[in-house]
């Protein structure tokens, strides 16, 4: 189940990134970040309601008792994901877009290291091998031939983005585990709370600091709604997968998002793949197999 939800998340995230990249041409960074969440809360609430309404009485979970630790995890994850998304939008504006996004996918490496050090995650040697192979694959797919080609600013932004996304994922898993609900109810509650918290935080900030950004989003309803929709479905996949399996394994398998991104570039934008792209894609598949085997 965690594999299926991860594949759903990766495919939806690839489409969402394409929507955000298009939106970033006309809307400021914080506005593009808000587009990810602004229409997603009703969808998350509808999904949670459907789980309770359509499940058998014997399978239904009780409404959880929310603790201070759960609230802390939700708030921390919400703030960190806002930061990570803003950094990703900044990467969209860099000249070396492919390099920056490739570095942002270092999330799996940060998730593995931080998870083992601070979140009691455990990885087998095969799991670590999968993470390492995935890192090499992302490096090849970024189009960089030597380390010297990496622009320092892009490296810093990409690494910070990857670390922020990793912490987001780790705190989301902790929030889901803190509820102690059966699958998939815990992930659904976390999804609703995190998206709602992020929407309120960003809306409040922009209402106080820059209302013109909200006007810009209002004037682009279709692209904003598509961004929110694909983001919500993608988050649903990530949150559910991470409630079932450790974050490093989920995020390493989630690197198949690069495959979906390249398919979009080939069939939608009519771009050609280089040999290093094909080798990188092969290594993504190898990393995914190693992780699932682990």
Write down the pLDDT at residue 80.
Answer: 94
Residue 117 pLDDT grade (very low, low, confident, very high; cuts 50, 70, 90): confident
Please name the residues in contact with 2: beta carbons below 8 A apart, sequence gap of 6 or more. 240, 241, 244, 245, 250
Residue 277 pLDDT grade (very low, low, confident, very high; cuts 50, 70, 90): low
Mean pLDDT of the region 98-108: 67
Residue 182 has pLDDT above 70, yes or no: yes
Residue 137 has pLDDT above 60, yes or no: yes
Residue 236 has pLDDT above 70, yes or no: yes
Closest among 103, 119, 115, 213 to 151, alpha carbons compared: 103
Residue 44 pLDDT grade (very low, low, confident, very high; cuts 50, 70, 90): very high
Note the pTM of the prediction, 2 decimals: 0.82
Write down the pLDDT at residue 189.
Answer: 95
Range scoring the smallest mean pLDDT among 102-111, 203-212, 232-241: 102-111
Q: Which helix (H) or strand (E) holds 268?
A: none
Q: Rounded to an integer, what is the distance from CA 92 to the centroid of its chain?
A: 15
Residue 193 pLDDT grade (very low, low, confident, very high; cuts 50, 70, 90): very high
CA atoms 91, 213, 13, 61: torsion sign: positive
Write down the pLDDT at residue 290.
Answer: 75
What per-residue string of b and e applies to 103-138 under the rule 16 or more CB within 10 Å gives b? bbbbbbbbbbbbbeeebebebeeebbbbbbbbbebb
Q: Kindly state the DSSP code that residue 55 receives in the 8-state scheme.
A: S
CB atoms closer than 10 angstroms to residue 83: 18
Helices (H), 152-267: 152-179, 185-209, 211-218, 221-244, 247-253, 257-267
Write down the pLDDT at residue 12.
Answer: 92
What is each CA distance from 216 to 22, 208, 228, in whole angstroms?
13, 16, 15
Give the mean pLDDT of the chain: 83
Mean pLDDT of the region 199-208: 92
Residue 123 has pLDDT above 80, yes or no: no
Write down the pLDDT at residue 235.
Answer: 93
Write down the pLDDT at residue 115.
Answer: 83
- Show the tokens assigned to 109: 């490496």
Considering only residues 12 and 104, tell me which one the structure prediction assigns the higher pLDDT.
12
Cα 154 to Cα 163: distance, rounded to the nearest angstrom = 14
Residue 18 has pLDDT above 90, yes or no: no
Write down the pLDDT at residue 152.
Answer: 72
Write down the pLDDT at residue 97.
Answer: 53
CB atoms closer than 10 angstroms to residue 75: 17
Residue 22 pLDDT grade (very low, low, confident, very high; cuts 50, 70, 90): confident
Write down the pLDDT at residue 100.
Answer: 59
43 touches 35 (CB < 8 A):
no
Range scoring the smallest mean pLDDT among 155-159, 188-192, 225-229: 155-159
Domain spans in the chain, listed from the N-terminal domain onward: 2-293
Residue 95 has pLDDT above 70, yes or no: no
Q: Rounded to an integer, what is the distance from CA 256 to the centroid of its chain?
A: 12
Cα 24 to Cα 30: distance, rounded to the nearest angstrom = 10
Write down the pLDDT at residue 101.
Answer: 61
Range scoring the smallest mean pLDDT among 63-67, 244-248, 280-284: 280-284
């Amino acid at each position: 189940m965690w594999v299926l939800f991860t594949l759903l998340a990766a495919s939806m995230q690839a489409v969402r990134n394409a929507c955000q990249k298009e939106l970033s041409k006309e809307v400021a960074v914080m506005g593009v970040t808000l587009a990810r969440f602004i229409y997603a809360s009703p969808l998350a609430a509808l999904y949670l309601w459907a789980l309770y309404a359509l499940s058998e009485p014997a399978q239904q979970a009780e409404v959880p008792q929310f603790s201070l630790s759960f609230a802390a995890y939700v708030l921390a994850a919400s703030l960190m994901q806002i930061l990570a998304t803003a950094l990703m939008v900044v990467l969209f504006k860099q000249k070396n877009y492919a390099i920056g996004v490739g570095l942002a996918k270092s999330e799996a490496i940060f998730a593995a290291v931080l998870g083992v050090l601070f979140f009691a995650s455990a990885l087998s040697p095969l799991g670590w091998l999968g993470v390492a192979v995935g890192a090499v694959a992302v490096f090849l797919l970024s189009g960089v031939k030597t380390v010297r080609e990496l622009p320092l600013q892009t490296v810093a932004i990409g690494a910070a983005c990857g670390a922020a996304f990793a912490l987001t994922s780790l705190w989301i898993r902790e929030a889901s585990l803190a509820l102690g609900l059966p699958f998939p109810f815990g992930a659904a509650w976390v999804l609703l709370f995190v998206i709602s918290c992020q929407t309120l935080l960003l809306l409040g900030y922009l209402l106080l600091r820059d209302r013109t950004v909200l006007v810009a989003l209002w004037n682009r309803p279709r692209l904003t709604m598509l961004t929110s929709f694909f983001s919500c479905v993608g988050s649903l996949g990530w949150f559910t997968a991470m409630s079932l399996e450790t974050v490093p394994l989920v995020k390493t398998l989630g690197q198949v998002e690069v495959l979906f991104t390249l398919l979009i570039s080939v069939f939608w934008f009519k771009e050609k793949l280089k040999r290093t792209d094909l080798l990188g894609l092969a290594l993504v598949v190898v990393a995914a197999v190693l992780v699932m085997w682990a």
